[in-house]
Structure 1
């Protein structure tokens, strides 16, 4: 019962628990969550755990602790790895992310509408959106925390516990910022918009003598909403300290890329099956359109304003912020989710109609979860197959890896792009897939002998030079990597190449196109034959001019992280 009125099945605590548990299902089977960047992060986690105990890591990497807004999983792996081991510990952390996100969505819906509307179920699949598949785990963790925190912010306001809210959200905002800056930023936008509506309604519904002339305006609500949200401001000071550091790098660029912003919206469910993923996008946009035109549905002013402010942030964000790519893309699923959560039935909607909407929403959620579970199972099988190569890699080996890519933005990503990071995680071997961005994360690469093959994206190879990409053709990589700096070469589903580039490489493991070679340092490399580097026209001239100007890796310019 709720205020004397029976709750429907999707509005009960049992359903919230059920939906939260269902959200974990896709991640139960894989040993390593098949998220694109996660294996690379796991390599860094291993370094931070054993850096002081393994001397050869100091020759390759520099690891320095500092306060920054990107430390969520990095900090959690300390207790989790001691209890469960690193791989299981990371898996358990990642499992909590979609669970928290789903629980947060439902909590927000409950606080805004008084009870969970049937339409809210359509937002739940966004817990497995494209940014999560990409492996932005600190970001995703902070957003899951932000959704729960926003639900709590609303609840404390409803209960009138403003003093307690002010006290608890000062440290909570710092914790979310440390997890990842984006979570803190989104929480600030959501809290401000909700407080703005509350302050406006408070003055409209109460006769305040000293405010009589402005009670229907927005000037005072803006002021008092900002005042209430000052408790979230402390991380702004920490941000200035962080980004003002001596060794901080990372550019901000690519503003107002409307083509990319449109693509991120259509790719919000991007995983494996393009038609199914696009149809899922169509479902949620049909729902949002129906809420505009259907007389039985309406948008909450509270979350409607939140969605509009998030949309404004999305439009203004560049693609790269402080050297971190896909900054604007990460906002899309939460912008859409808040817009869906804003939808609610008008009082006249029948119980039968609401039940039908809830059944359709649950079916949509379960269908997406089922597809993601199947997709993750297939990715896990691919991981198992490729990782058998590590049984032949000695502890502490100097390993250069080349992972096959294409010039086309294929819908189903292989999820193998950072699998070489598991060689660092499991075998403490050098791997050239690590990011090297001072001030952006705790670890940087300083293995000078590796030259232009020291860090990401040197691990990605193609059959030709792709326009506007830093990836090298496989022939260029095999011919030019400094053989004195490496003991082993790991090719992971590479594109076809001339076998003469295997000169001086002794195969020790092979499975299909993937192969692990040991480098024979007594045999010189094959040299580079320009005829083996076909470049699509008309980009060929542009690329050669860029190389001559030092703008591509061919002339040693370090690519952005």
Structure 2
């Protein structure tokens, strides 16, 4: 079969980077229940968006779609389209695979645009499974590869504005806006840093390509409830975390994923490869002059933002904590790989670190699935479709991870069988769906802060008689007589069904 003449034939090295991207994506598909804290939320949200009108899941009675007020739109629209082909679960896996595998590919595109060695993109492979990824902030990490693709398009367009490059930049920047507002903000900073202020002849074409994304940002800030709330909550964001805490926690919010020391060892290996590359390339002259200096503004702002901002912006938590990951990624374009045999050796070592780091993550994920998840799927099978299910997660943690991967596992029920689950983000202004007026679960108001973290404080009056089932992990739920009875019990999970009236 001949390669189509209308499609440019990939360079041989492109296949190498595609293999690296496939390796990087492995944690997304290696197990059915990865230890990603908020991931079940996004999976269930994708189900609601995709099957909102399907009576089998019973969403329309309690929810309404809120797609016009979320900056996460692209994740769920892309996922819903994919779900028509591969189903909701596999669509979410594909999106997570893009979060990980797309990162080195997006980085490669940006490196080529600024005249740096494309092999540096391999540094993004071990940095893909970071704290934001394991916290399950999927639309955020989904936006990072798009951010680098958009930055690459921006640099190329500002250097030589054409109609084609302008359309590409306009589409990518708009896509980035609808992926997540945080990466879009970093992209906007890069656009200002790279704008050709000293070349007036390029102003018109450069500005024209940015107009759609600027209009979207203005609409979000002025016409979206979530944007208005974010703008009105800047005072919260300007209350920085104490410096003593920030200095200690930078790596805790970037690469420190596991309780053991394996991730630290692989990160140390990555640092040694970076140092070797810089030292061995000293004195090398680049065949072209890299255009990477303006990117230092993005790096500097990412670092400063972590130390200067607070931990929340309105309803959005982990605000300052989101900046260490892009800060580390922004270091990559300033690194070097030597020429010749030394460069080949450094590249091989870099690929080996990426492969080993990914294998380490996959090993932990497999152990988590086999040893800690328990019979979750069987528990869900014992709950009928379209019911109201309260999740009380007393045993939230794991021996392997620093965070609480089971915190939102009740959302797996909504993803598989629909209905209403609690805890839910469906009362947040920025969420893609929300409870209809008068349909909030008891007590009829948004859940109190840390509801999901403190199941022992949830009174039975907020559970009975509204919920048909209670899904419990761990011990601590003792329902009064005449409310709930055990329908199914496994080693780690218990399903309580409401007593007949």
Q: TM range, normalised to the smaller chain? A: 0.7 to 0.9
Determine the structure 2 residue equivalent to 1:204: none
Structure 2 residue aligned with 1:369:
358
1:265 to 238, 248, 251: 251
Of the three residues 285, 291, 296, the one matched with 2:282 is 296
Unaligned runs of 5+ in 2: 1-10, 285-289
Kept in 2, the 8 Å contact 1:433–1:456? The answer is no
User: Given that residues 69 and 429 in structure 2 are in contact (C-alpha distance below 8 angstroms), is that contact kept between their aligned partners in structure 1?
Assistant: no
* Contact in 1 for aligned 2:391/2:422 (Cα 8 Å): yes
Contact 2:116 2:333 in 1 (8 A): no
2:148 is equivalent to residue 131 of structure 1: no
Query: Can you list the C-alpha shifts for 1:283-323, whole angstroms capped at 9, x where unaligned?
Result: 45566677888882799535444422433444444322342
Equivalent residue in structure 2 for 1:73, among 54, 75, 78: 75
CA spacing shift, 1:280–1:230, aligned 2, 3 Å = farther
How far, CA to CA, are the matches of 2:51 and 2:60 in structure 1?
A: 11
Aligned to 2:316: 324
Deviation (angstroms), 1:391: 1.0
TM-score normalized with structure 1 length? 0.73
1:472 matched residue in structure 2: 454
Q: CA deviation at 1:519?
A: 2.6
Of 320-329 and 55-64, deviating more is: 55-64
1:227 and 1:148 mapped to 2: Cα distance?
19
- CA offset digits 1:106-162 (Å, max 9, x no partner): 222333345335x5533321122111222222222222111122233334556x354
Mapped pair 1:232 → 2:221: no
Partner in structure 2 of residue 96 of structure 1: 98
- 5 Å-filtered alignment, 1:408-423, equals 411-423=401-413
Partner of 2:7: none
- Map Cα deviations across residues 369-421 of structure 1 (whole Å, 9 max, x no partner): 10111222234444462231111101222211111257999943342221111
Instruction: Show structure 1 runs of 5+ residues with no match.
Output: 1-9, 200-218, 461-470, 523-561
Q: 1:449 to 1:354 in 2, by over 3 A?
A: closer
C-alpha contact 1:386 1:514 (8 A) present in aligned 2: yes
Residue aligning to 1:211: none
Counterpart check, 1:351 vs 2:340: yes
Q: CA deviation at 1:56?
A: 4.9
Give the aligned partner of residue 256 of structure 1. 240
- Normalised TM-score (structure 2): 0.81
> What's the secondary structure of 2:126's corresponding residue?
helix
Distance 1:498 1:31 in 2: 27
In the alignment, structure 1 residue 389 sits paired with structure 2 residue 370: no
Change (3 A) 1:134 1:233: farther
User: Does the C-alpha gap of structure 1 residues 14 and 292 become closer, same or farther in structure 2, counting only changes over 3 Å?
Assistant: closer
Which of 1 and 2 has greater Rg? Answer: 1
> 1:105/1:297 Cα in 2 relative to 1: closer, same or farther (>3 Å)?
farther
Equivalent position of 1:518 in the other structure: 497
Q: CA RMSD in A?
A: 3.7
Alignment of 1:421-460 (within 5 A): 421-445=411-435, 447-451=439-443, 455=447, 460=452
Partner of 1:244: 222
Superposition deviation, residue 103 in structure 1: 0.6
Instruction: Report the Cα distance in structure 2 between the residues aligned to 1:458 and 1:397, rounded to whole angstroms.
Output: 24
